């Protein structure tokens, strides 16, 4: 009995005897075992791996070690290349060689694996070498690597006594091997050496070959086949692949297969040497299943006696529609020091269906289009999508899909498009801006998150900055998730732009259902034009349409477009105060039609420089055809013209319109009685604080021009920052001497969107009057203040206004040398300079005006400060 056990022990030892087992843990490759060759060109790294360290010039390096196993043998090794191998920079693994010198050609008989081709998606080739002749006997199918610029792979090769080779790889560097191919070649059945060979022509590759975990052992295959993959071919058929070629007789027995909850197939067919097709009578529902296989043998006769199983997901045929998968999170502006330091976006499956996203297309506002590789979204699941190089960073947070090319996401705004494989059917579209963060401090380093992914509403309303611990929540429910978030704000018509006499583009402030947008009954134009003949979507954002009219618009005839029947995503009807637009084809603007009325070039710290335009005609004109420039600042390249408005902006006769890049600052710093007459452009021409020129153009025709200089400001103004220059007369050229004056202090130093404080009236006579002779500052709402009205014939006046008692005692310095508009009012609240209410009685209002030309004038009025009788 003991002899029998000893024999079996010795037999088992022989079957697994290791001819070579070296992981370089001793830090040495010259002993135990001994490697020979170009030994000075290799070293052991601190992580105990064998690494090349050759000359920094074109070189061939090799190491070999004795080995006598060539049949019934298995080889394993780990390989890492810090570069993309090619036909001139590549490694070889010599599995069999009769020569210790692997760089020799004379008389050498060998087999080797070589990695290196002209593509990055590659695999090994098995090559037989006889002297200088090398013959590829097996070229393995290409495999995509996690990184196209490097290689990390673990390889196992098995060869039996008949010369059958089977090659397995794991291109993640682990031991989850897949069978890549097999071939029979028994030309050389003996060997003396095993080794590695490094060839490079790029000098920087000298230290980029790394090897580890070499193992050569006797091996006899007594292992039955295993399941390597199963995939759905249709709702009734499945392809099951084994890790090795299988016996075709046992492979087609129906009862040898079963799918959990479904049972055995009605038909089994062999597709290839290692795969079969399972066919079922009825459609298999979507879900996760386990396939079980028993009694199937490989071609060596090893039969499965204990069932092999594999879990898989089957997705029943389903065509996704818009909104089934949504952009759920966007990291557009990561910071390099943050945990989430690379760009990504996240998809979310809003349905209860498994959705195959294989072949789907993605693009942002650029022209680059990325195609998704094989992937399936489970119901209510997330998928992180990023650049291939960043997959390792994000896969710890959840399932991650790497795509190439990765179009860089713009920090300020971008358009994200998700299409079915046809490249035209839209599944989701997001046009984000950095205003969606709702917090200026979170515009970088934070993800944008969708608030209600199942809601009907998108756009700015349904997005905000993440409040998650890592400033984002990739692969998990959003930190701002709120299923109750719905849009109760009415949609608005933003613009109606005439494209031709029969076509008008209409833009709304938020997405609208396609069926409503394209319904001709929701649009009407008066003056007999009526409803459009057709309506077509404009773009993919569902916020714009082009309507085509059956009757052309007549020039210079103002009509009104009215939109009805439009509701937002939550059913709220269009705002009745913003559902109409003027439709008008205007005459071309000629020189002198539009005049520059005012310019602020030395703005306050908060910004807001502007140019004000005045319509000097009796016609409605369209500012869309105009541009603005500062020729004085454009150098030799000519004026840098800025478009004033990309859509129609109708300026009515004798009205004032302001052009600025910061409308909010203008409104904050000055009184703006007509805020709808401000046009905000992306950037203003550069107007320096010392001098410059503003010119309005129609094409290449100058419409009006104004040259300014800071010395044009009133000589007695100590600080001109925030003070505009106003045009006094529209009947004179803007550049006539004295036709530009500082805006009056009494008008707030600028008059955007209304009449200039320094406007000229040649027929006016200077006068100061009181609107009411008696006032009673008792806060009863009736004549609580004294209104002092003034009108001056000339411009550029300064005024001092003092208030005296009837005894000549000065009680209030109401104004002290302030610049005045040519016409206006100033109020006295009845308080003295100490802030106390003056006594009831008679008071004298004395107004003295003067200008730098030496002209003076003086006015006196009397009033009564009264009080109620008890």
Q: What is the DSSP string of 789-851?
A: EEE-SSSSEEEEEEEEETT--EEEEEEEEEEE-SEEEEEE-SB-TTSPBPPSEEEEEEEEEE-
Question: DSSP assignment, residue 33?
Answer: S
> In this predicted model, which residue has the larger pLDDT, 869 or 787?
787
Tokens of 492: 């608005």
Cα(first)–Cα(last) distance of the chain, in Å? Answer: 133
The C-alpha atoms of residue 181 and residue 187 are separated, in whole angstroms, by 19
Question: Which of 690, 692, 665 has its CA nearest to residue 610?
Answer: 665
The C-alpha atoms of residue 385 and residue 347 are separated, in whole angstroms, by 8
Helix (H, G, I), strand (E, B) or coil at 451: coil
Q: CB neighbours of 630 closer than 8 A, spacing ≥ 6?
A: 639, 640, 685, 686, 687, 692, 693, 694, 695
Range scoring the smallest mean pLDDT among 63-67, 133-137, 270-274, 424-428: 270-274
The C-alpha atoms of residue 298 and residue 292 are separated, in whole angstroms, by 16
Range scoring the smallest mean pLDDT among 14-28, 285-299, 611-625, 760-774: 14-28
Confidence of residue 9 (pLDDT cuts 50, 70, 90): very low
Q: pLDDT at position 17, please?
A: 45
Under a CB-based contact definition with an 8 Å cutoff, are residues 385 and 362 in contact?
yes
Q: pLDDT at position 762, please?
A: 60
Strand order across the 308-314 sheet: 257-259, 287-293, 308-314
What percentage of the chain reaches a pLDDT higher than 90?
Answer: 72
Q: What is the pLDDT of residues 199-250, one digit of tens each?
A: 999 999 999 999 999 999 998 888 899 999 999 999 999 999 998 889 999 9
* Mean pLDDT, residues 571-580: 95
Tokens of 63: 């190491």
Confidence of residue 570 (pLDDT cuts 50, 70, 90): confident
Q: pLDDT at position 539, please?
A: 84
Q: What is the pLDDT of residues 790-819, one digit of tens each?
A: 888 777 788 899 999 999 999 999 988 888
Question: Which of 762, 839, 745, 837 has its CA nearest to residue 798?
Answer: 745
pLDDT exceeds 50 at position 322: yes
Q: pLDDT at position 291, please?
A: 98
Tokens of 519: 């319904």
Q: pLDDT at position 237, please?
A: 96
Q: pLDDT at position 135, please?
A: 96
pLDDT exceeds 50 at position 683: yes
> In this predicted model, which residue has the larger pLDDT, 796 or 412?
412
Question: DSSP assignment, residue 390?
Answer: G
Range scoring the smallest mean pLDDT among 153-157, 297-301, 809-813: 297-301
* Mean pLDDT, residues 774-797: 86
* Mean pLDDT, residues 617-627: 93
* Mean pLDDT, residues 167-179: 91
Q: pLDDT at position 12, please?
A: 37
Range scoring the smallest mean pLDDT among 189-198, 464-473, 730-739: 730-739
Residue that the structure tokens 């020799």 belong to? 104
User: Which of the listed ranges 82-96, 700-714, 789-803 does the model predict with the highest average pLDDT?
Assistant: 82-96
> In this predicted model, which residue has the larger pLDDT, 633 or 615?
615
Q: pLDDT at position 8, please?
A: 35
The C-alpha atoms of residue 325 and residue 351 are separated, in whole angstroms, by 8
* Mean pLDDT, residues 327-354: 96
Q: Could you give the domains of the chain? A: 17-218 (2.60.120.200), 227-314 (2.60.40.1220), 325-465 (2.60.40.1260), 493-583 (2.60.40.1220), 594-747 (2.60.40.1260), 767-865 (2.60.40.4070)
- The DSSP string of 671-739 is --S-GGGEEE-S-PPP--SSEEEEEEEETTEEEEEEEEEGGGS-TT-S--TT--EEES-SSS-TTSTT-
Confidence of residue 634 (pLDDT cuts 50, 70, 90): low
Q: pLDDT at position 758, please?
A: 80
CA geometry: angle at 546 spanning 542 and 549, to 5°?
A: 145
**Residue 1: how many other CB atoms lie within 10 Å:** 5
pTM of the model: 0.46
pLDDT exceeds 60 at position 5: no
Beta bridge partners of 615: 594
pLDDT exceeds 90 at position 824: no
* Mean pLDDT, residues 717-744: 88
Cα separations (Å) of 417 from 325, 346, 401, 694, 717?
12, 13, 16, 41, 56
Cα 522 from chain centre: 34
Confidence of residue 6 (pLDDT cuts 50, 70, 90): very low
The C-alpha atoms of residue 511 and residue 544 are separated, in whole angstroms, by 8
CA atoms lying within 13 Å on the CB side of residue 468: 27
Q: What is the pLDDT of residues 370-399, one digit of tens each?
A: 999 989 899 999 999 999 999 999 999 999
Q: pLDDT at position 757, please?
A: 82
Confidence of residue 51 (pLDDT cuts 50, 70, 90): very high
Beta bridge partners of 465: 448
> In this predicted model, which residue has the larger pLDDT, 175 or 541?
175
């Amino acid at each position: 009995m003991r002899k029998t056990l000893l024999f079996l022990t010795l037999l088992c030892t022989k079957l697994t005897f290791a001819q070579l087992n070296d992981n370089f843990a001793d830090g040495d490759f010259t002993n135990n075992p001994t490697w020979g060759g170009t030994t000075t060109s290799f070293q052991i790294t601190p992580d105990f791996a064998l690494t090349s360290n050759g000359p920094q010039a074109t070189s061939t390096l090799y190491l070999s070690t004795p080995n006598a196993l060539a049949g019934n043998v298995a080889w394993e090794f780990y390989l890492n290349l810090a570069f993309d191998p090619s036909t001139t920079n590549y490694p070889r693994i010599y599995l069999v060689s009769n020569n210790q010198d692997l760089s020799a050609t004379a008389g050498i008989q060998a087999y080797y694996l070589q990695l290196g081709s002209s593509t990055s998606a590659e695999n090994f080739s098995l090559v037989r070498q006889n002297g200088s002749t090398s013959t590829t006997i097996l070229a393995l199918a290409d495999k995509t690597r996690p990184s196209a610029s490097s290689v990390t792979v673990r390889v196992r090769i098995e060869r039996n006594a008949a010369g059958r080779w089977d090659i397995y790889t794991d291109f993640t560097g682990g031991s989850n091997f897949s069978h890549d191919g097999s071939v029979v070649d028994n030309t050389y059945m003996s060997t003396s050496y095993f080794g590695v060979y490094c060839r490079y022509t790029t000098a920087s590759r000298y230290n980029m070959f790394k090897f580890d975990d070499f193992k050569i052992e006797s091996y006899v295959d007594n292992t039955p086949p295993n399941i390597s993959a199963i995939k759905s071919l249709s709702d009734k058929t499945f392809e099951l692949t084994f890790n090795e070629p299988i016996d075709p007789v046992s492979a087609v027995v129906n009862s040898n297969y079963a799918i959990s909850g479904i049972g055995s197939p009605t038909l089994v067919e062999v597709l290839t040497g290692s795969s079969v097709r399972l066919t079922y009578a009825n459609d298999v529902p979507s879900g996760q299943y386990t396939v079980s296989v028993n009694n199937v043998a490989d071609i060596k006769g090893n039969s499965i006696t204990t069932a092999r199983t594999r879990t898989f997901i089957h997705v029943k045929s389903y065509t996704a529609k818009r909104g089934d998968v949504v952009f759920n999170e966007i990291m557009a502006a990561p910071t390099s020091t943050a945990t989430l330091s690379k760009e990504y976006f996240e998809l979310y499956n809003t349905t209860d269906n498994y959705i195959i996203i294989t072949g789907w297309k993605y693009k942002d506002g650029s022209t680059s289009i990325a195609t998704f590789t094989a992937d399936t979204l489970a119901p209510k699941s997330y998928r992180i999508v990023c650049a291939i190089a960043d997959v390792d960073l994000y896969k710890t947070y959840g399932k991650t899909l790497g795509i190439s090319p990765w179009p860089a996401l713009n920090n300020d705004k971008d358009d994200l498009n998700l299409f079915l494989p046809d490249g035209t059917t839209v599944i989701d579209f997001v046009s984000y801006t950095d205003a969606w963060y709702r917090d200026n401090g979170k515009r970088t380093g934070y993800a944008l998150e969708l608030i209600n992914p199942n809601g009907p509403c998108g756009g700015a309303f349904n997005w905000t900055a993440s409040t998650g611990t890592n400033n984002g929540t990739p692969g998990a429910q959003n930190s701002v998730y709120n299923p109750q978030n719905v849009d109760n704000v009415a949609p608005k018509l933003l613009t109606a732009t005439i494209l031709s006499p029969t076509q008008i583009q209409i833009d709304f402030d938020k997405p609208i259902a396609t069926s409503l947008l394209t319904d001709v009954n929701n649009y009407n134009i008066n003056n007999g034009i009526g409803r459009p003949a057709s309506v077509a979507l404009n773009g993919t954002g569902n916020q714009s349409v082009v309507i085509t009219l059956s009757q052309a618009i007549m020039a210079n005839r103002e009509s009104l477009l009215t939109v009805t029947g439009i509701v937002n995503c939550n059913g709220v009807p269009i705002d009745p105060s913003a559902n109409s637009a003027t439709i008008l084809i205007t005459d071309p603007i000629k020189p002198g039609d539009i005049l520059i009325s005012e310019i602020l070039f030395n703005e306050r710290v908060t910004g807001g420089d502007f140019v004000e335009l005045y319509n000097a005609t009796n016609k409605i004109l369209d500012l869309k055809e105009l541009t603005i420039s500062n020729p004085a600042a454009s150098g030799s390249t000519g004026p840098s013209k800025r478009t004033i408005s990309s859509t129609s902006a109708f300026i009515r006769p004798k009205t004032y319109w302001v052009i600025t890049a910061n409308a909010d600052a203008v409104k904050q710093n000055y009184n703006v009685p007509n805020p709808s007459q401000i046009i905000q452009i992306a950037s203003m021409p550069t107007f320096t604080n010392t001098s410059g020129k503003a010119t309005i153009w129609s094409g290449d025709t100058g419409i009006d021009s104004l040259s300014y200089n800071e010395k044009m400001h009133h000589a007695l103004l100590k600080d001109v920052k925030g003070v505009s220059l106003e045009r006094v007369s529209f009947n004179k050229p803007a550049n006539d001497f004295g036709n530009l004056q500082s805006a009056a202090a009494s008008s707030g130093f600028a008059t955007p969107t209304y009449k200039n404080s320094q406007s000229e009236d040649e027929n006016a006579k200077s006068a100061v009057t009181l609107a009411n002779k008696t006032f009673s500052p008792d806060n009863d709402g009736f004549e609580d203040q004294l209104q002092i009205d003034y009108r001056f014939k000339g411009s550029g006046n300064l005024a001092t206004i003092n208030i005296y008692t009837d005894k000549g005692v000065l009680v209030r310095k109401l104004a002290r040398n302030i610049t005045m508009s040519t016409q206006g009012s100033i109020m006295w609240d009845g308080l003295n300079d100490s802030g106390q209410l003056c006594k009831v009685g008679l008071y004298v209002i004395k107004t003295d005006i003067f200008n730098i030309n030496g002209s003076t004038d003086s006015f006196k009025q009397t009033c009564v400060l009264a009080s109620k009788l008890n």
